[in-house]
Structure 1
Amino acid sequence: MSHANARLTPRGRRLIIDRYLAGWKQAHIAAAMGCSRRCVARWIDRWRVEGDAGLVDRSSRPCNSPNRTSDAVEERVLELRQQKRLGRDRIAELVPVAARTVSRILARRGSPPLRLLDPMTGALIRSSKQTAIRYERSRPGELVHMDVKKLGRIPDGGGWRVNGKADSRSAAQKRTPKGYDFIHSLVDDHSRLAYSEILGDEKGPTCAGFLHRAAAFFAKHGISRIERLMTDNAWAYRYSLRDACQQLGTKQVFIRPHCPWQNGKVERYNRTLQAEWAYRQPFASNSDRAAALAPWLQRYNTERIHSAIGAPPISRLQPTC
């Protein structure tokens, strides 16, 4: 297929025909277009036979492929994969064809990789991305996404990101676990307005308290009601947020098990949180990193251009007094 700036795109070929109909000689057309006379003649002849449809790009696929693997061999490859769960190299030994040919056959026939199949039954044991179509709710508060990101705490004086191999802590201090910070986050689907807190665990009461504070933060920014809350199937979410959602007038919905991409907006926010806050610079202590969260969150909501909406999240909300 020709690139956008090529001389003989369908638009350029149309120009050849227009000049031909205007009475230009083929030699003059070729000089003006920067191509050969033979090329001009070919497009004019094709247009005479097929009309405007003859000016578009054609597939380069050959009309026949005499060396293509036969249907019988392809069926044998699929049979060995489905019944015996063999890899491509082993199938190539038994058929026999090249291992790369086996890969092409399996891909063309839509056979999933072995890592996705149960070794005993051959059944697909991992879900495919059935929600790959992007969507966005039409108004703020119609749907919000909630999740927790766990980060290891930073020892006083900084960890390996600050000190590298020259860490002055003793071996016993290095072996002593520092525990984790749990960053709870809530993201609005329409505006991408986000709220995060660093808490000590991800238990039910902690998640419920965070949801109430996040709802107050959203209300302060013009989202008076959270209509639906989407979470994964963690125990704390499934069984401990019922009362909080009822008090807020929110309907709770869950993603399909083992399909985190269905909660993709907050999952992507977690990645941004790591890259632009948690790991953006080396921190000398855990408190230093914690103190940097609020300024970063303020910038994320009010200044940072969100690539999906082309503006900061605050721009999609009504101004508040």
Structure 2
Amino acid sequence: MVERIAVIGLAAAAIEAGISQRTAAKWKSRFVTEGDAGLRDRSSRPHAVRAALNGEQLAEALRLRRARWTIRAIASSLAAPYPTVRRFLAGRSLSRLPPIEAPPPVVRYEHTTPGSMIHLDTKKLGRLEKTGHRITGNKRDHVCCVGWEVLHLAIDDHSRLAYTEVLIDEKKATTTDFLERALAWFTEHGVSTARVMTDNGVSYRSKPFGAALAVRGIRHVFTKPYTPRTNGKAERFVQTALREWAYAHAYNHSSERTDQLARWNHFYNHHRQHSAIGFCPPISRIPMNNVSNLNT
């Protein structure tokens, strides 16, 4: 190839050899500098490599990292290059420090019968007057100051059967009325409610809400303050609803989104496979589903 370069030029010789002009120029330069010896195979190892940390430095880096030193501080203390120290610690899974306090253990529970526990929660949703920037990607389509509406939900702990409504607010009267409609809906589906779990919101602690439960003999259970995972099934349902209903389509108005809720809720209860209950729809865990036409 080097001989052909002298005859037909660098570009043509490179094409003829099936390599790039840059590679052809490299081999020509080696031949000019070293002669035939420059065309022999050689190690691809670089001429200069980073200085590795010695045993004492490695041990000290581990000790300082476990003492929660930053990687840059460790490198400075060892008089070693930062990338070398970082690479070594990353190989020991110490590139990120563990949290000072260990996360609390995950406690999973499931009541054995439908109605033993009904979870209630709410989720604020911004009202829509047109398709917003989340869908169009144009920040000029941002709509502000049009207010809020609230998704109210009730979900059965055992079956994950859910009842939802979009209402104008989450005040005590609105929340209490939703509770009564939700309990009636569950009763129609053969679910007798024994307990209701809510967070510590003002509406849930109001006298009308408590009275609505007391008159039915239903026990009211509150979640631990600032611990939303206590009401995890409701929180999980909220995320599912946002992903599969609220943000799943480009709605032109809030009314379109609300109209689609009943259809999606029916799909969730009767057709959607739920991983936590063996990839079956929630309605399959309701006993009266076996003798009625509720699964249609």
In the superposition, the TM-score normalised over structure 2's length comes to 0.65
- Shift of residue 228 of structure 1? 2.2
- Correspondence list, 1:68-147, <5 A: 69-70=58-59, 74-79=62-67, 81=68, 86-94=69-77, 98-99=85-86, 112-113=98-99, 124=101, 128-130=103-105, 132-147=106-121
Which runs of 5 or more structure 2 residues have no equivalent in the other structure? Answer: 1-54
1:4 corresponding residue in structure 2: none
Q: Which amino acid aligns with 1:234?
A: G
SS at match of 2:115: coil
For 2:139 and 2:62, how far apart are their aligned partners in 1? 59
- Shift of residue 283 of structure 1? 1.4
Answering whether residue 288 of structure 2 is matched by residue 314 of structure 1, we say no
- Shift of residue 245 of structure 1? 2.6
- Shift of residue 100 of structure 1? 5.2
| 1:107–1:184 CA distance, 2 compared to 1 (3 A) | farther
> Residue 229 of structure 1: which of 182, 185, 196 is its match?
196
> Residue 220 of structure 2: which of 252, 263, 284 is its match?
252
**Contact in 1 for aligned 2:127/2:148 (Cα 8 Å):** yes
| 1:111–1:224 CA distance, 2 compared to 1 (3 A) | same
| Structure showing greater Rg | 2
**Contact in 2 for aligned 1:88/1:103 (Cα 8 Å):** no
| 1:165–1:68 CA distance, 2 compared to 1 (3 A) | closer
**Contact in 2 for aligned 1:92/1:102 (Cα 8 Å):** no
**Contact in 2 for aligned 1:151/1:182 (Cα 8 Å):** yes
| 1:162–1:107 CA distance, 2 compared to 1 (3 A) | closer
2:168 corresponding residue in structure 1: 200
**Which segment drifts farther, 209-218 or 157-166?**
157-166
Answering whether residue 173 of structure 2 is matched by residue 219 of structure 1, we say no
For 2:215 and 2:180, how far apart are their aligned partners in 1? 9
Answering whether residue 246 of structure 2 is matched by residue 272 of structure 1, we say no
User: How many residues of Structure 1 are paired with residues of Structure 2 in the alignment?
Assistant: 230
For 1:282 and 1:146, how far apart are their aligned partners in 2? 28
For 1:194 and 1:101, how far apart are their aligned partners in 2? 51
For 1:308 and 1:251, how far apart are their aligned partners in 2? 25
For 1:101 and 1:163, how far apart are their aligned partners in 2? 45
**Contact in 2 for aligned 1:187/1:193 (Cα 8 Å):** yes
1:152 corresponding residue in structure 2: 126
Which runs of 5 or more structure 1 residues have no equivalent in the other structure? Answer: 1-65, 118-123
> Residue 267 of structure 2: which of 275, 299, 303 is its match?
299
> Residue 156 of structure 2: which of 176, 188, 191 is its match?
188
Equivalent pairs: percent with the same residue?
37
| 1:165–1:253 CA distance, 2 compared to 1 (3 A) | same
* RMSD of equivalent CA atoms: 3.3
